Structure 1
């Protein structure tokens, strides 16, 4: 198979902020492209493996969100509406009429908000490892307990994690190692996530989490999801340390939801269950 080339570019938003983006894959007539939304908030795109899986099937666009990773440093604004607008700018830059949106973790929430705002600009939504639309209190306490339990399997690693500053690469790698079910390879997987390494955008993370916390669990969000006339695929890793019951709120609200739970996988299911992840993606392509 001939390898596909990645084309990096800068996308300029309507307020003049430059976003890093890259296109790869083989676009073919009649096959919708895929537009990826990375997790965080405040992190950067780490989905090279996802793009590599899909490149032979369709065109794939990745991007770093505002003020994050390879995108231009800026002072915000850090709002969900601004990030939805940035996502639409990326879509228009690459002339993606109706892409499949694939969002992971926080990016799943961003992709959902975009689909709710612009359902006519989306072919389908793939919601990976998100936390649903219910209140954060439904899952966040259990997540923190599960995180400490995973790190606590190695007391020295837990102690080191606790003493490191919150924005350090070493602390992030230790924390991300808890995201994988395969404990023997967890640290190696986490190291790959941190290569390349960029500063974590903490103001972005805080502001977006606060705003999201005000809107989840509201009747307006439930009603909007109930009215969403799009095919949605929800993909979970069964061993994600975020309780997967949190996503029930979204699954039950959506009129066209298919849910696939991959056993033996954590928060990044394509890493530990690549075949199952690709098979789940193909269910959307066949619709």
Structure 2
């Protein structure tokens, strides 16, 4: 799903993408935890012999990239935080997200709910995910098309891994963020169904931070590729 990002940034950096433990082409073998995933990311870095890297994370990956940077600031040159949900408690934004999700699903809401509430076949898993992902795009006319592209090729979703990570209670990161000296770029889509106000406290906490808001949904590189490329490549180049 991040192939377009890799292509866009290939001129600005050597790009390495990885399938997290239990996801994509990686083996579905736990344990699943934030701590373990941070360690896995460090193992990928060490495998390539890179002393320091720039990190770009999207959505949950933005949280992961932030947690890695807080754990290993000496190993990160720059952090790009794309469409994350900030450092506040989920209770401050999740209800609004659920409302926005249902509203964006529109005519597909009943089908999505019926799939959500029953045991699904592999084919129905894919349909359920495509419907849910379609809510992440501001352009409703192309939303299903974009979501179908995210599911091609289809490796399935590891719902066990997802549930395990979501069960973890996030620590208060504000104090650590206030002392983080790694330059950070926050990139948002203004039409993201996850309220962007949830990221405001992260922006206030970070001492070296800039923020770019694009007219897009949860995947801003899909709906504003030029704006995304300009913001991220410029940040990585230091311009």
TM-score if structure 1 supplies the norm length? 0.79
Runs of 5+ in structure 1 lacking a partner? 1-45
Match among 113, 116, 120 for residue 162 of structure 1: 113
**1:51 aligns to 2:3 (yes or no):** no
Shift of residue 97, structure 1, vs aligned partner: 2.1
SS of 2:15's partner is: strand
2:61 is matched with: 107
Judge which range, 112-121 or 276-285, deviates more.
276-285
**1:201 aligns to 2:158 (yes or no):** yes
**1:183 aligns to 2:140 (yes or no):** yes
1:281 is matched with: 232
**1:141 aligns to 2:98 (yes or no):** no
Q: Distance in 1 between matches of 2:80 and 2:236?
A: 11
Match among 105, 112, 130 for residue 84 of structure 2: 130
**1:242 aligns to 2:167 (yes or no):** no
Shift of residue 57, structure 1, vs aligned partner: 2.5
Contact 2:177/2:205, CA 8 A, preserved across alignment: yes
Runs of 5+ in structure 2 lacking a partner? none
Q: Distance in 1 between matches of 2:51 and 2:84?
A: 25
Q: Distance in 1 between matches of 2:234 and 2:207?
A: 17
Shift of residue 201, structure 1, vs aligned partner: 1.1
Aligned length: 232
2:105 is matched with: 151
SS of 1:89's partner is: helix
Q: Distance in 2 between matches of 1:115 and 1:52?
A: 24
1:27 is matched with: none
Q: Distance in 1 between matches of 2:156 and 2:79?
A: 29
Q: Distance in 2 between matches of 1:283 and 1:231?
A: 13
Contact 2:112/2:128, CA 8 A, preserved across alignment: yes
**1:261 aligns to 2:239 (yes or no):** no
Residues 1-42 of structure 1: per-residue CA shift (max 9 Å, x gap): xxxxxxxxxxxxxxxxxxxxxxxxxxxxxxxxxxxxxxxxxx
1:232 is matched with: 184
Judge which range, 158-167 or 64-73, deviates more.
158-167
Q: Distance in 1 between matches of 2:63 and 2:9?
A: 21
Q: Which contiguous aligned blocks of 4+ residues in structure 1 show a shift greater than 4 angstroms? A: none
Shift of residue 165, structure 1, vs aligned partner: 4.3
Q: Distance in 2 between matches of 1:248 and 1:87?
A: 26
Q: Distance in 1 between matches of 2:78 and 2:32?
A: 26
Match among 56, 61, 75 for residue 121 of structure 1: 75
Q: Distance in 2 between matches of 1:144 and 1:137?
A: 11
Q: Which has the higher helix share?
A: 2
Q: Distance in 2 between matches of 1:282 and 1:201?
A: 32
